[in-house]
Structure 1
Amino acid sequence: MVAFCPLCGNTLFLEESVESQMLFSCRTCPIFFPIKKPITNRSYYKLKEIDDVLGGEEAWKNVDSTEERCPKCSHPRAYFMQIQTRSADEPMTTFYRCCNPDCHHNWRE
């Protein structure tokens, strides 16, 4: 939580008063707000699925296949695509998808 001064718009800073009470105060204006209860805020971000990162089912429609064995069903062929997931001086990441229509297991190199 970031609080702002209602007069000047500067960020309010957390300070301790003479009576050992915590308060938000502005360093330019004579404004202060005592803190009466604990302030907590937690945010949990949902991790993306691998299909969301790769573009979903549409991204796999026009890709090539190669001889790569599936680690799940041992099918001998897999579709592949290469995506730059890191900075430009790093190598591209190769993503695979099993050609077996019953499996469609995704993995990366």
Structure 2
Amino acid sequence: MEFCPGCGNMLQYELPNMHDARFFCPTCPYVAYVDRKVKIKRRQHLVKKEIQPIFTLDDYKNAPKTEEPCPRCGFPEAAYRTQQTRSADEPETRFYRCMNNNCGHTWVDYT
């Protein structure tokens, strides 16, 4: 947001149709042209960070167990952990891990 240095009113933007883009003051004759010469001095490549799990495998070893069937293999038992991932008035999120040694599938229940 730009303001007029003469009268202090907020400047309005005028689209570039017949001339260059500019800001102008609606009450006084002040005009400021927008400079289109933008230069990128240095490009920096972003590096993706490694995604770290919320719970490790050791966290599920001593976790409570429940009769929740695995959606992948159908094994009837799963360990679960809970964490508040949304706002305080929302229910906590449950993270399940299948107790079948061959499967080990992990899934989330948001309800």
Which of the five TM-score ranges fits, normalised by the shorter chain?
A: 0.5 to 0.7
Paired AA for residue 95 in structure 2: F
What percent identity do the matched residue pairs reach? 37
Which structure 2 segments of 5+ residues have no match? 1-33
Partner residue, 1:40: 43
Matched residue type, 2:54: V
Output aligned runs, 1:1-16, within 5 Å.
none
- Give the drift of 1:58: 1.8
- Point out the structure with max Rg over C-alpha: 2
Q: Distance in 2 between matches of 1:89 and 1:41?
A: 40
Change (3 A) 1:61 1:39: same
**Aligned counterpart, 2:81:** 81
Please list, as runs of the form range in 1=range in 2, the aligned pairs for 1:18-33 lying within 5 A after superposition. none
RMSD over aligned CA atoms reads 2.4
Deviation at 1:77, TM superposition (A): 1.0
Residues 1:57 and 2:60 aligned together: no
How far is 1:21 from its partner? 5.9
**Count of residue pairs the alignment pairs up:** 76
In structure 1, the gaps of 5 or more residues are 1-14, 23-34
Matched, 1:66 2:66: yes
